[in-house]
Amino acid sequence: MQGGVLELAQQIKMKVEKEGPPDAILATDMVNLPALIALARPWLNKIPIHLYAHENQLTYPIQPGVKRDLTYSIINTLSMITADAVHFNSDYHRNAFFSELPRLLKHFPDYNHLELIPQLKKKSDVLPVGLELNLFDSVKPRTRKHGPLRILWNQRWEYDKNPGEFFQIMYALDSQGLDFQLILVGKNYRQHPVEFDQARERLKNRIIHFGFVEDRRDYARLLWQADVVLSTAVHEFFGISVLEAVYCGAHPLLPYRLSYPELFAGHLHEHIFYVDTNDAVRKLRWAITHPTEIRSNSIQHVAKSYRWENIIKRYDRCFT
């Protein structure tokens, strides 16, 4: 978020000198937009600039015991002020950011410019992420496997995805002697959560895959094997991984919070959402003992609505 703008400004300069100015700039929230505009000012004069907030550093959960660095939250805010239009990936994300923004600005003893918040809201909207699903189509099996119910984890192996609760649920099911299998796929970018190593030992007879998959086609094949995708996340601004699994036929079981109610609006609460750990255990116990019903209750159409071929029309209208 800091040094990358130096390289971006140089690339913009070379691109403009070779091909002329662009019609618009689309920058993610990981770009320090005011710095980029300053560095690339001669080449970006009067060019419309859109900022896409896939996440933000103001409401992204931090690890326990770690103090939030407000520098990055300020950069996000200044970037939004700089942009001509701001796009959030979900309404939940947009509301969460603007609910917390006054607290950030009040850190300044004077000139906190709270009056900017309504202006930012006015130029912001919701523009969902598009899903690239053609790869999943290319490896779709002709039939689904029978046997024990297969439960999937396909999110990052990070604290904000709450692996502790996930495995608490798995241990509860295991202690009841229920017949199920686990697909544990994902990648960690920082500290490796110990919960996965503990689970690898305690649940080793149930795990049919463990770890990151380099080849995305192999990842897609694993998703087609899953019957249920369970999320225990304490942070989710959108939910690409869950939607990919749903597209591959996995039934979602999700906490009734974050962006999930928005993604699956209009679907029965009792079948998709749980309210606490005990509720998740109860609903998974039913799923494990009724695998035929779970496997025949696909809501693939929800994920299909987010594929790029459908979502891109909204982007086209926005940028036009």
pLDDT on residue 270 = 67
Contact 153, 182 (CB under 8 A): yes
Q: Return the bridge partners of 25, or none.
A: 49
> Lowest-confidence range among 178-192, 209-223, 283-297?
178-192
Do 138 and 123 fall into the same domain? no
Q: For 26-50, what is each residue's pLDDT tens digit?
A: 999 999 999 999 998 888 888 999 9
Report, as an integer, the average pLDDT of 84-88.
Answer: 97
**Does residue 158 form part of some domain?**
yes
Confidence of residue 191 (pLDDT cuts 50, 70, 90): low
Structural domain contains residue 147 = yes
Please state, in angstroms and rounded to a whole number, the distance separating the CA atoms of residues 291 and 276.
22
CA distance 183 to 10: 44
318 in any annotated domain: no
Give the pLDDT score at 29. 94
Phi, psi of 124 (to 5 degrees): -110, 155
Do 81 and 152 fall into the same domain? no
| pLDDT tier at 111, thresholds 50, 70, 90 | confident
pLDDT digits (tens, 9 = 90+) for 271-287: 899 999 999 999 999 99
Please compute the mean of the pLDDT values over residues 112-126 and round it to a whole number.
Answer: 94
Token duo for residue 88: 């959030």
Least confident range of 2-11, 101-110, 186-195, 257-266: 186-195
User: What are the E-state strand segments in the chain?
Assistant: 25-28, 49-53, 85-88, 124-126, 149-153, 180-184, 207-210, 228-230, 251-255, 273-274
Of 103, 127, 151, the domain-final residue: 127
What pLDDT was estimated at residue 266? 77
Same domain, 121 and 138: no
**CATH number, domain at 245?**
3.40.50.2000
In a domain, 314, yes or no: no
Domain count, the chain: 2
| Same domain membership, residue 266 and residue 235 | yes
pLDDT of 193 > 80? The answer is no
Task: Provide the pLDDT for residue 104.
Answer: 93
How confident is residue 76, by pLDDT bands cut at 50, 70 and 90? Answer: very high
What average pLDDT is seen over the chain?
A: 93
pLDDT at residue 1 is higher than 80: no
pLDDT mean over 64-84 = 92
State whether 143 and 110 are in the same domain. no
Residue 316 lies in a domain: no
Asked if residue 164 and residue 105 are part of one domain, the reply reads: no
Note the pLDDT tens digit of each residue in 135-152: 999 999 988 888 999 999
Which of residues 127, 143, 177 is at a domain's end? 127
The confidence score (pLDDT) of residue 66 equals 86
- Look at 269 and 294; give whichever has higher pLDDT: 294
Do the domain assignments include residue 313? no
Same domain as 82, residue 54: yes
pTM of the model: 0.93
Predicted confidence (pLDDT) at residue 291 exceeds the cutoff of 80? yes
Which residue, among 240, 80, 66, has the nearest Cα to 159 in the 3D structure?
66
Residue 48 and residue 146 share a domain: no
Domain-embedded: residue 200: yes
| Over residues 173-187, mean pLDDT | 96
Predicted confidence at residue 63, as pLDDT, reads 81
Q: Among residues 127, 160, 180, which one ends one of the domains?
A: 127
* Shared domain check, 286 and 172: yes
Range of the domain at 220: 134-304
Same domain, 36 and 178: no
pLDDT above 90 coverage of the chain, percent: 81
Q: Are residues 232 and 279 in the same domain?
A: yes
Cα 318 to Cα 127: distance, rounded to the nearest angstrom: 9
223: helix, strand or coil: helix
Chain centre distance of CA 140 = 23
d(CA 176, CA 44): 63
Whether residue 243 is found in the same domain as residue 286: yes
315 within a domain of the structure (yes/no): no
